[in-house]
Structure 1
């Protein structure tokens, strides 16, 4: 009998084993290993007879009603089809932006789907973590989005996130506290500063502003800068315009609230939480549209009112239009499936989901004209009418800058807040850093 060569037998045995594995529906271990390495956990596309679903990780930073909205959204999507399983996780906002997302992505384990703030947008774009969503818009829907909303997330022709809300800033105040202190609702910077001085006590902050560096920190400062006539970049978009008397004026004004201890350097609640006003530990707070729903649901017995942001003498009314964006991990093994979920949620022909988000779950202005038109009635109810009729027309989209520019602005604000520099000195120092960053 002729001796059989192992060079012939081994390949045949391996092929037989592979066939047996496929026949038994095995192979999920290899899929999970690939997913873990790419940051996209779960099974791969259903093929070769496998019935295992593609699992996509979706992370954000929502709480309470907003968290429930996304939990229900994920349940609805998971039940509507049998190909993809979305796994939703939410985290404390400060931890989410400062540590959770950056660490996950740097370690190669970023989620497939996530929320990104405008302040962090360019950092993730430059790192290659934002997928181009342009190819996934349903026919005709992209034209329904406000051009300014899409422009804010477009880099080199790529739509790198889906805008689904526009959140404006206003001045919330406790009407009873102002009356007790014989203070009129401030309309100018001088009046705001005078009101904060009269309203500040050992137990009550005159005005809540964000005290810590980060995206929200800069978000609150931009209206002050623009109202004074200052800009971060020149019209060419390539050089700094930060070193100006207007910028120095805005920085000095911002810093005064901290230097005089009218705004706390430490807060019991996040500076984005209207609980500072609702729990009556503050008399005034600059906060966004998202606060309206919580005021109605939790603090209905607190006399909270709303006004446009005060402006400097000779300045113009301006507020910021921010809002988180839906993003897809460009390195996800299941990028197409992740993009389809994002489009289904807020860019579908069916506008019921974005309408519910902007009118029932919270108060924000949608990024789609058809949704704005459909929700027009509710935008004139309660505090919303102040945003709609007095603030909306002055909104400028929150700008996106590269991380070094964001850092330079934050450094300038901090130095003036704690008396290390004057506004003029801080503007000059930041200007040099911004020009360096733009090279």
Structure 2
């Protein structure tokens, strides 16, 4: 999907002037006599590598390796924290002072592009576009231009407590119909067929939206101007969950269930399927249930197969000056190359955004996550994406509690969400 976004018609005067002033085309003064890029580039990097000391060492080495290859460029990688990231980046854009490149998510890209805060980066991967998973590029493509180069992916797939299915004499279900069939059999033994994390703390990208996509639905219309989750497909997705709840196929507290695995019904062995699982959660599941009892499978399938996979995007901000444009482009190319992604994914435990980088981990897990990467949906980038989630989540809870029908819940949510979208 080539995303379209409605451009903001008004921003603060300071931001408007700043962003307009720094979005001019690149000048021809950003290369040395030998054609090599030159200049200064600042990158804001966030905690991709969880261990703080290891992160510091890794990115210092990255700086050194890059500058060895491009000695006329002074690269500074500043390590930031996730705390108040949106506010930090927005303030930098408004002040026209801060990073040339920043690590962001697709929905953030939509937001910052909406106020003129990003510049296109197609040139950075001009010769290697085909090496990237298409969905990772689509996530950062707006109005047919690329506004972020995918550095890595977080991807989620299905994990099973194999024991509960073996004990019930059932095969591991991979489709909605198979889950429907398994649910009453497992419920007779006090087992919920599938987990669902209904707490508002959980992003809908990891709770309701994968089922919406599996039904063939979307959150927004193709042009991003209309709410679409109240479609026939959306109702089918929510009814699937509501029907499971009624049959004991979801935990009793699914509408409010928290995110953590420790202390959850899943860890207690009373749930069969976790539909969106990342590798770090696999380790927790195996610690709780036993290594041999946890199996990883491909994403679930309704009308289609889909899961959530969120690329981390290196985006070029409007702060970048034209004299440093070629240098910034070379940084983007270097940090998203095959060799660098191989090193980063080994250090961070994420997944590559490139098809030519091998996925690490046990062979069975690797095969399942490779399948997931091929059908990963990066979410639906829109400046109002997070506000729309905040409107929709309580209505999903109402349907799961039986307070509203699936259709009524989505229609009421869509009316409120459309007002939010119109304002944005």
TM over 0.5: yes
1:343 aligns to 2:321 (yes or no): no
1:224 aligns to 2:207 (yes or no): no
| Gap change, CA 1:159 and 1:199, over 3 Å in 2 | farther
Look at both structures and tell me which one has the larger radius of gyration over its CA atoms. Answer: 1
Query: What TM-score do the two structures reach when normalised by structure 2?
Result: 0.67
Aligned counterparts, 1:319-398, within 5 A: 319-331=307-319, 336=325, 339-347=329-337, 351-358=338-345, 361-364=348-351, 366-371=352-357, 375=358, 381-388=363-370, 391-393=372-374, 395-398=375-378
In 1, Cα distance between the equivalents of 2:268 and 2:329? 43
The one of 187, 190, 196 equivalent to 2:180 is 190
Aligned counterparts, 1:2-401, within 5 A: 56=42, 58-64=44-50, 70-80=55-65, 81=67, 83-91=74-82, 96=83, 100-108=84-92, 112=99, 113-135=101-123, 137=124, 140-179=127-166, 185-187=172-174, 188=176, 189-191=179-181, 193-194=183-184, 197=187, 207-209=195-197, 211-212=199-200, 216-234=203-221, 238-254=225-241, 261-263=252-254, 265-267=256-258, 269=260, 283=271, 284-291=273-280, 294=283, 301-302=290-291, 303-312=293-302, 315-331=303-319, 336=325, 339-347=329-337, 351-358=338-345, 361-364=348-351, 366-371=352-357, 375=358, 381-388=363-370, 391-393=372-374, 395-401=375-381
RMSD, matched Cα: 4.4
What's the CA shift string for 1:259-307, capped at 9, x where partnerless?
96343725363xxx79969965874423345448856997895332112
CA contact (8 A) 1:54 1:84 kept: yes
Query: What TM-score do the two structures reach when normalised by structure 1?
Result: 0.65
| Gap change, CA 1:343 and 1:292, over 3 Å in 2 | farther
Give SS of 1:85's match. Answer: strand
| Gap change, CA 1:234 and 1:329, over 3 Å in 2 | closer
Q: Mean Cα displacement is larger for which, 159-168 or 174-183?
A: 174-183
In 2, Cα distance between the equivalents of 1:255 and 1:107? 42
1:425 aligns to 2:408 (yes or no): yes
In 1, Cα distance between the equivalents of 2:194 and 2:285? 23
In 1, Cα distance between the equivalents of 2:114 and 2:189? 44
| Gap change, CA 1:77 and 1:235, over 3 Å in 2 | closer
- For structure 1, the 5+ residue unaligned runs are 1-37, 39-44, 46-52
CA contact (8 A) 1:258 1:264 kept: no
Q: How many residues align?
A: 362
CA contact (8 A) 1:160 1:327 kept: yes
- For structure 2, the 5+ residue unaligned runs are 1-21, 23-29, 31-38
In 2, Cα distance between the equivalents of 1:385 and 1:227? 20
